[in-house]
Chain A
């Protein structure tokens, strides 16, 4: 049981390049989330999904797109990377959106945009 895994762990991009971050979970969770964490700050929600084939915007969605084609995977895409997107990206999943459910987090992807 690997929990939540993220690929890659590190990435350096040039401004304008594109990339996709992959999140996978093996807990059969319905809900998945993408967050970003800037230095000295807490996590901010980018996008989330309430089930296969669904996505929704979070607090800071601009410049990102997501897809949930399979229940176990949640992809985060940057079409044209900007230096402001330099951050650590965390994926999380939960069984439901119930207030009493916990979220399980991945180890993070450290992205630098030059």
Chain B
């Protein structure tokens, strides 16, 4: 059950900011918004998560719309190592075992 919608692919120039969008119009009040990325031939790795407020960490920023029906992952300066598939996932606070990955956004970084 895909709860999120993301573009299949995006491109960015190296050292420029990247905004990766995600729509989750059926989000419930107890759903956290998680972002993971998967580099080629590796397992997914955690990027960031949030509930209602915008979040920043060393990897990225997460901007959450006021109605929570969409969010944007922001990579401030894309590097070649950021080329990966980025997954936007909703994780319920109460029953967080069901982690639906969807197909994600494949990010290409152009040197």
Contacts and interface: CB of A to CB of B under 8 A. Distances in A.
Contacts of A48: 97
A103 B97 contact: no
A31 B99 CA distance: 13
- The binding surface of chain B is classed by DSSP as loop
Interface stretch (A13-21, A68-76, A79-87, A94-102): A94-102
A100 B32 contact: yes
Given A90-B43, A102-B46, A104-B46, A45 B93 contact: no
A101 B104 CA distance: 20
B54 to A, nearest CB: 15
A99 B32 contact: yes
B20 to A, nearest CB: 15
Contacts of A102: 34, 46, 49
Interface in A35-60: 35, 40-45, 48, 50, 56, 58-59
B43 A100 contact: no
Given A42-B87, A42-B101, A105 B45 contact: yes
Query: B interface, how many residues as a size bin?
Result: 20 to 34
Given A90-B43, A108-B42, A44 B101 contact: yes
Contacts of A92: 43-44
Interface residues of A, number: 30
Contacts of B99: 33, 43, 45, 103
Contact of A100 (B42, B93, B95, B104): B93
Contacts of A59: 98, 100
A41 B44 CA distance: 13
A103 B46 contact: yes
A30 to B, nearest CB: 11
6 contacts: A42-B100, A58-B97, A99-B31, A102-B49, A103-B99, A105-B43
